Amino acid sequence: MPLTAYSTLYGKELDVEQLLSHLNGDKEVRDLTNLAGINDHIRSFIAVDIQCPGCFVTGAELVSGAASKKTGALIRQPYFRFTTPGHGKFCDFSNSETIKTPENLIDFGKANNSITRQVRVLVCSAIELGIISQVKIRDMREWFYKTKAGSSFEVNLDADFPIRLLAWTRAILKGSSIGTLPASVELSKDIAAAKGFDWKLEAHRQLYLLNADLSECIQGLKLWQLHDHAEKVSSIIKVHQKTEVFDPTVLKNEYQLTIELTRYLNHYLKFPHNHHFPELRHSPLVAFSAVLLYVNDWNITNALKDFAKISLHKDPDLTLGNVMGLNPFHEYQAWRLLKELQSLPEEIQNIEDVSQVLDQIETGLKTSFS
């Protein structure tokens, strides 16, 4: 359930307190723990004005905050609830009765570390220069939601498969690594007679030679990326088994562009560097890159020109950044891999535990060649 939501009237993201204060002529709202007294006129207005930040439905209701009985301090902020007609199918808020913000939504107003502080300055500068706006940030979220809703597939993969396949991937890669016999050589008793012959490594090479199809899949689909994501893919499968989910691969081009821009900005801003995946560490920066590309119709050259202007701008009004951005590519690689794995042929999906297969190969080799 969202703490903040978009007001069509005010053209910006507001929490319950800010909204009520605006509607009340900017007077402070006295009791956030008891909103029952708010008149029907205001309630009906809120129901048509306020949109869910995830799926843009209207019909918002207010839920009072809660205060500590001992101290009277607010322990839960008031929030918005959307029950009629209710959230859309792919809304990030639809499964949750809690008021936790989904991980893909980025509060650009946050400044709790050096990265969020710098991104906030960039966002505020960009807003002050008219390059982005709260409305455009909201429009991007809607664009993403509609894209999501327009492409889906059902999850029906064995949740252990990503872990099994990762083990196969490692074993097959080892089978063509340094120290193995060349792929063209056929093993014979004379060769295996070498002192300290490595039967285990030879078993890996045989595995590689016997599984050319799988080896091709690993290269073509970049399945070695399972190294970073197999656990995540498994947990996504467990949560979403037999349900319809968004197909993220429709956003492949946008993802590539966002990552390219993020890598450039990451270097420019001297953020801590993650050799392979800077995008995994700096979600607020990914969200900023995505919105900069979105307002430039995904033209990266123009986005870079805009960034140059933003970088020269000084001392922006920091309250402008109180807006909810979106990292549309949160866990993108895990979702991409899930989609790819599910489209693999059934015989690959049914592979056994690779360590057992390696043991069988090794036993067979020793029987034949020693």
For Zn ion, the binding residue among 14, 19, 51, 54 (CB under 5 A) is 54
Nearest to Zn ion of 90, 168 (CB atom): 90
Q: Quick one: 5 or 320, whose CB is closer to Zn ion?
A: 5
In Å, what is the CA distance from 122 to each residue of 16, 126, 278? 27, 6, 18
32: CB partners within 8 A, 6+ apart: 16, 17, 64, 65, 74, 77, 78
Segment interacting with Zn ion, rule: CB under 5 A, options 59-67, 93-101, 102-110, 330-338 = 93-101
Q: Is omega for the bond preceding 85 within 30 degrees of 0, making it cis? A: yes
Question: Residue 35 interacts with Zn ion (CB under 5 A)?
Answer: no
206: left (phi over 0), alpha (psi -120 to 50) or beta: alpha
List the beta strands (DSSP E) in 212-349: 244-246, 324-326
Q: Does 121 bind Zn ion (CB under 5 A)?
A: no
**Residue placing its CB nearer to Zn ion in the complex, 326 or 358:** 326
Q: Identity (one letter) of the amino acid at 134?
A: Q
Please give the biggest Cα pair distance in the chain.
93
Q: Is 295 in the site for Zn ion (CB under 5 A)?
A: no
Residue 245 Cβ, how far from Zn ion at the closest point, in Å?
16
CA nearest 43: which of 28, 58, 25, 26?
A: 58
Q: Closest distance between Zn ion and the C-beta of residue 90, in Å?
A: 9
- Considering only CA atoms, which of 230, 157, 172 is closest in space to residue 206? 172
Per rule CB under 5 A, is residue 55 in the interface with Zn ion? yes
| 3-state DSSP assignment of residue 260 | helix
Q: Give the residue, chosen from 19, 32, 46, 52, that forms a contact with Zn ion under the rule CB under 5 A.
A: 52
CB 318 within 8 A of CB 120: yes
Q: Which is nearer to Zn ion, 82 or 168 (CB)?
A: 82
Task: State the nearest-atom distance from the C-beta of 322 to Zn ion, in Å.
Answer: 20
Closest C-alpha to 260, from 220, 303, 222, 296? 303
Site string for Zn ion, 63-92 (x = CB under 5 A): ------------------------x---x-
CB of 9 to Zn ion, least distance (A): 19
Question: Shortest approach of Zn ion to residue 114 CB, angstroms?
Answer: 32
Q: How many residues bind Zn ion (CB under 5 A)?
A: 6
Degrees, nearest 5: CA angle 244-250-251: 115
Question: In angstroms, what is the minimal distance from the CB of 324 to Zn ion?
Answer: 13
Shortest spacing between CB 89 and Zn ion, in angstroms = 10
Residue numbers of the site for Zn ion (CB under 5 A)? 52, 54-55, 87, 91, 93
